[in-house]
Amino acid sequence: MYTYDKIIAKTENKLKKTNKRSNHRFIPNTSFDKNTMIALHHLFNSNIISYVNGPLKAGKESVLFWAVDKNGNDVALKIYLTTNSIFKKRHMYIRYRKGSMYLNNSKNTIESWAKQEFQNLKHCIRHNVSVVKPIYVFKNILVLNFVGVNGIPNKTLAESIPTQHDYTCFVQILTDLYRNAKLVHGDLSSFNIFKTNDGLMFFDLSSSVPISHLNANMLLKRDIYNMSNFFKNKGLVVYHPIDVFYSVKNVI
């Protein structure tokens, strides 16, 4: 048997063991590709995770899993999909990102996106922007603080009834993101914002760009228009998107 196969067999065994709170059963060979299995092996071996309890959601570019760390805390694993047409869209961003190399290899590209999201989130936390806390990244797997209870993710803004206060909170986080972390989210929608008891929390920052990026203004405007429409359609009072744009950029 190749060492490679041994690693996969070992990882499969670990994946079969979930912790008590889960009723999920892992079915070998159907869930993950080989590269993901090797990345999971690393997470088990470095004691970043002890169990993978089961799948949470399949997003458009990733699958999310509920896992448990060595202290029994819930964590979320965001596993970036390695074979997906989304590459084309992503290349648009990567190609123009200042100082970054254009990567042609899809596996490398995906790994660079996981790393990028980790760094963006870390940068936000450092600057007190309300985002999901990142824990670790390895290859195509991003480990995040679990937002939710007992394997059930917190409701996103899309799944909640938004209030006028949520709108104010949204404008504040957008401003903090721009002025303090110097980033534009780039894929902001009600599906990428958690509504928690402590207020709103942005997540899914894999498409975020620095404010110096060529497309930063365009992406910021798009984010604001998307969110303004969302709040307006829910019957809330919103500022004109262009006023929000200039206010975020502090040029009013």
Ligand X SMILES: Nc1ncnc2c1ncn2[C@@H]1O[C@H](COP(=O)(O)OP(=O)(O)O)[C@@H](O)[C@H]1O
The mark string for 183-202 relative to Mg ion (x by CB under 5 A, - otherwise) is ---------x----------
Closest CB to Mg ion among 37 and 200?
A: 200
Does residue 89 interact with ligand X by CB under 6 A? no
Closest CB to ligand X among 8 and 68?
A: 68
The mark string for 143-172 relative to ligand X (x by CB under 6 A, - otherwise) is -xxxxx----x--x----------------
Number of residue whose CB is nearest ligand X: 59
What residue has token string 């937002």?
A: 147
Identify the three-state secondary structure at position 45. helix
Closest CB to ligand X among 31 and 238?
A: 31
- 61: partner contacted, choices ligand X, Mg ion, none (Cβ within 5-8 A by kind): ligand X
Shortest Å, Cβ 23 to ligand X:
18
- 56: partner contacted, choices Mg ion, ligand X, none (Cβ within 5-8 A by kind): ligand X
> Which residues contact residue 10 at a Cβ distance below 8 angstroms, ignoring those fewer than 6 apart?
41
Does residue 61 interact with Mg ion by CB under 5 A? no
Tokens of 65: 């899993």
Q: Which amino acid is at 111?
A: E
Shortest Å, Cβ 207 to Mg ion:
9
Binding Mg ion (rule: CB under 5 A), the pick from 12, 117, 204, 223 is 204
Cα separations in angstroms, 95 against 85, 147, 215, 216, 220: 16, 32, 11, 14, 18
Burial code of 117-155, b = ≥16 C-beta within 10 A, e = fewer?
Answer: bbebbbbbbeeebbbbebbbbbbbbbbbebbeeebebbe
Residues 118-147 that bind ligand X (CB under 6 A): 132, 144-147
Closest CB to Mg ion among 59 and 153?
A: 59
Q: Note every long-range contact of 102-111, with CB atoms under 8 Å and residues 24 or more positions apart, other chains counting.
A: 106/82, 107/35, 107/82, 107/140, 110/80, 110/81, 110/82, 110/140, 111/80, 111/139, 111/140
Binding site for ligand X (CB under 6 A): 56-57, 59-62, 64, 76, 78, 132, 144-148, 153, 156, 191-192, 203-204, 206
